[in-house]
Amino acid sequence: MTRRPRPVPPCAWELPDPARAPAGQDLLGVGADLAPGTLVEAYSRGLFPMEVDDDATLGWWSPDPRGVLPLDGLRVSRSLRRSLRRYSVTVDEAFDAVMDGCAEGRPDAWITAQFRAAYGELHRLGWAHSFEVWDNSGDLVGGLYGVEIGGMFAGESMFHRARDASKVALVHAVDALGGSQGAAEGRILDVQWRTSHLASLGVIDIPRGEYLARLQRARTLAPRLIAISRATPDQAEGR
């Protein structure tokens, strides 16, 4: 039987509808909270939270265009293939440490204690997942974390302390989501905004309307990451 995340209470807020937002407007609302039900509802709608202008105001964002990495379009260079052999990768074994790694050294510092607590709770409920990259000494040298809603995985942040370690985490995330098969099923790897670094790995921009249509289809799929998580069943199901 397919494992699924633990149910969360309904969202207590009226969140904005990205389908009705003006084209090109990324920030759609402010306020609400980071309760599990709020976060699950937001990601299901195509929204994600991030503070506004470093003033601790909680904003809800839906970029137009949206950055996505096609699961059949990841570009793996020759040097990255060599790096893949240098590290080992686990899933959901050090979620909090990955969040800490993503937060360190960031000038915008948007991954606050509030965000750590909120996504840590989502992880315990089975909605948020991490990929951890370890070197031969057993040190955590990179990783990424994000939220999975059905067939959509929203990559929130990644970090590296050794060469290519964050890219290695991304390669393993694409593989865990099914690669070309996942793409054929209609799964999405959402990265929010396309940057030059992410573009070099295959990330593309798509209009918000297209993203929302693809999200609606992806939500009907069973999640994959909770099924391959190496966390204990109690951790994955939030008990």
Tokens of 59: 């904003």
User: What pLDDT sits at residue 14?
Assistant: 97
Phi then psi for 90, rounded to 5 degrees?
A: -125, 170
Per-residue pLDDT tens over the stretch 75-94: 999 999 999 999 999 999 99
Cα(178)–Cα(185) distance, integer angstroms: 9
Distance from C-alpha of 13 to C-alpha of 104, rounded to nearest angstrom: 31
| 3-state SS assignment for residue 90 | strand
191 pLDDT more than 90: yes
pLDDT digits (tens, 9 = 90+) for 201-210: 999 999 999 9
pLDDT cut 70: percent of the chain above it: 92
Asked if pLDDT for residue 237 goes beyond 50, the answer is: no
Prediction pTM value: 0.93
Question: Can you read off the two tokens belonging to residue 231?
Answer: 């966390």
Residue 175 — pLDDT band, cuts 50, 70, 90? Answer: very high
- 66 vs 211: CA distance, rounded Å: 7
pLDDT confidence tier of residue 239, bands split at 50, 70 and 90: very low
* Mean pLDDT, the chain, whole residue set: 93
Strand partners, 205: 67
What local confidence, expressed as pLDDT, does residue 229 receive?
77
What domains lie within the chain, and their CATH numbers?
Answer: 24-64 (no CATH), 67-237 (3.40.630.70)
Residue among 89, 84, 80 nearest 133 (CA): 89
Region 170-194: mean pLDDT is 98
Distance CA 200, CA 132 (A): 22
pLDDT digits (tens, 9 = 90+) for 149-164: 999 999 999 999 999 9
Query: Residue 232: pLDDT band by 50, 70, 90 thresholds?
Result: very low
Per residue in 6-65, pLDDT tens? 999 999 999 999 999 999 999 999 999 999 999 999 999 999 999 987 677 999 999 999
**What confidence score (pLDDT) does residue 238 get?**
32
Residues in contact with 9: Cβ distance below 8 Å, sequence separation at least 6, in sequence order: 35, 36, 37
